[in-house]
């Protein structure tokens, strides 16, 4: 079957001939490799995307089920080479080590700030609770978003 949906504001489609996750479909078929595969079990958040307004682990979504949906990946968050506020905050805080968790964290934080422009530290931590950073760089990540939240008040 052909699956058609909106990917980062543009039409996207591809052939799905076997049970395949949205994550693998994005990476292998559509060559959108920003979303990362670390656990493939919904445990780490490195594959997070926004599907019809909700952050989901794309490794747990079947590609065939996104027909007609709207999907935003990390690639869709910058604008013509300009980082989003969330991306810029992480950059300025040095909140990236190996970077493997970074796309998922950027997606989760983008969703948070889209609903709440000045979240508390607790709200930031809750929003990122599903995102594991194996480099344990949480301090800088949280500070990045505390700073961004402070700029919004
Ligand atoms: S790869 Fe999807 S949650 Fe870890
Ligand atoms: S920066 Fe390495 S996993 Fe988070």
Residues in Cβ contact with 6 at an 8 Å cutoff, skipping those fewer than 6 apart: 12, 69, 70, 71
pLDDT at residue number 151? 81
Read off the pLDDT of each residue in 125-151 and give the average, rounded to a whole number: 95
**Same domain for 103 and 67:** no
Structural domains of the chain, count: 2
Distance CA 107, CA 86 (A): 9
Instruction: For the full predicted model, state whether its pTM sits above 0.75.
Output: yes
pLDDT 10s digits, 35-80: 999 999 999 999 999 999 999 999 999 999 999 999 999 999 998 8
Ligand closest to the CA atom of residue 47 = 1
pLDDT at residue number 153? 63
For residue 17, what is the domain's CATH number? Answer: 3.10.20.30
Ligand 1 atom with the shortest distance to the CA of 45: 3
Distance CA 23, CA 20 (A): 8
pLDDT 10s digits, 93-137: 999 999 999 999 999 999 999 999 999 999 999 999 999 999 988
Nearest CA to ligand 1 atom 3: 42
Ligand closest to the CA atom of residue 106 = 2
**Same domain for 50 and 115:** no
**Same domain for 32 and 91:** no
Residue 12 predicted with pLDDT over 90: yes
Owning domain of residue 136: 85-152
Ligand 2 contacts (CB < 6 A) are 96-101, 133-135, 137
Residue 32 predicted with pLDDT over 90: yes
């Amino acid at each position: 079957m052909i699956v058609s949906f909106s990917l980062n504001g543009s039409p996207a489609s591809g052939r799905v001939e076997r049970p395949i996750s949205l994550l693998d479909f994005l990476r292998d078929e559509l060559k959108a490799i920003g979303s990362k595969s670390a656990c493939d079990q919904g445990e780490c958040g490195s594959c997070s995307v926004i599907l019809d307004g909700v952050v989901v682990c794309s490794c747990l979504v079947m590609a065939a089920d996104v027909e007609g949906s709207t999907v935003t990946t990390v690639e869709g968050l910058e604008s013509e080479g300009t980082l989003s506020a969330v991306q810029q905050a992480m950059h300025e805080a040095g909140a990236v080590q190996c970077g493997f968790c970074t796309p998922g964290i950027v997606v989760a934080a983008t969703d948070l700030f889209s609903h709440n422009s000045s979240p508390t530290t607790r709200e930031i931590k809750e929003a990122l609770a599903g995102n594991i950073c194996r480099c344990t760089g949480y301090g800088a990540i949280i500070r990045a978003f505390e700073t961004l939240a402070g700029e919004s008040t």
